[in-house]
């Protein structure tokens, strides 16, 4: 048998509803990429920007007072997935006419290979995925 089994790497961190949490979430995601040996990847900055946007959206729209959000970063050798879990209602969407605000999900949609929203009780999870070039080697 020549198939190599890849176990996914996953890191979770909970953040309070505090504006400083966005920077902390971005640093946590970057540290995860360093830890997994993919910090030099040309899309590392895109991942950081998407973490910032999803974390900001969770703070502004998804984390009620007294609550926070969970950042999950997962890498399986082929795909890096970023998830932000919050306990707020509503469903985020990309604005048709972006103004001064509301561009976060436009950026996520433009930078990530996929993104979406899932339900949880309470709240939702907003996620995005980035295909890593090493994945082509793993799938052959």
90-133 residue pLDDT tens = 777 666 665 656 678 999 999 999 999 999 888 999 999 999 98
18-52 residue pLDDT tens = 999 999 999 999 999 999 999 999 999 999 999 99
Nearest-angstrom CA–CA distance, 137 and 140: 6
Q: How many CA atoms lie within 13 A of 46 on its CB side?
A: 19
Peptide bond preceding 16 in cis form (omega within 30 of 0): no
Question: Which DSSP state fits 5?
Answer: P
Q: Which residues have a Cβ under 8 Å from the Cβ of 57 and sit 6 or more positions away?
A: 84, 92, 104, 105, 126
Q: pTM for this structure? A: 0.86
């Amino acid at each position: 048998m020549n198939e190599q089994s890849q176990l996914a790497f996953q890191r979770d961190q909970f953040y309070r509803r505090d504006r400083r949490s966005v920077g902390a979430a971005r640093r946590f995601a970057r540290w995860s990429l360093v830890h997994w040996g993919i910090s030099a990847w040309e899309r590392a900055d895109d991942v950081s920007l998407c973490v910032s946007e999803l974390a900001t959206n969770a703070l502004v729209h998804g984390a009620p007072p007294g609550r926070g959000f969970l950042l999950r970063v997962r890498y399986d050798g082929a795909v890096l997935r970023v998830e932000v879990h919050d306990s707020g209602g509503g469903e985020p969407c990309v604005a048709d006419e972006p103004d001064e605000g509301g561009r976060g999900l436009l950026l996520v949609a433009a930078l990530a290979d996929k993104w979406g929203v899932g339900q949880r009780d309470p709240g939702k999870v907003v996620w995005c995925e980035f295909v890593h070039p090493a994945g082509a080697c793993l799938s052959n």
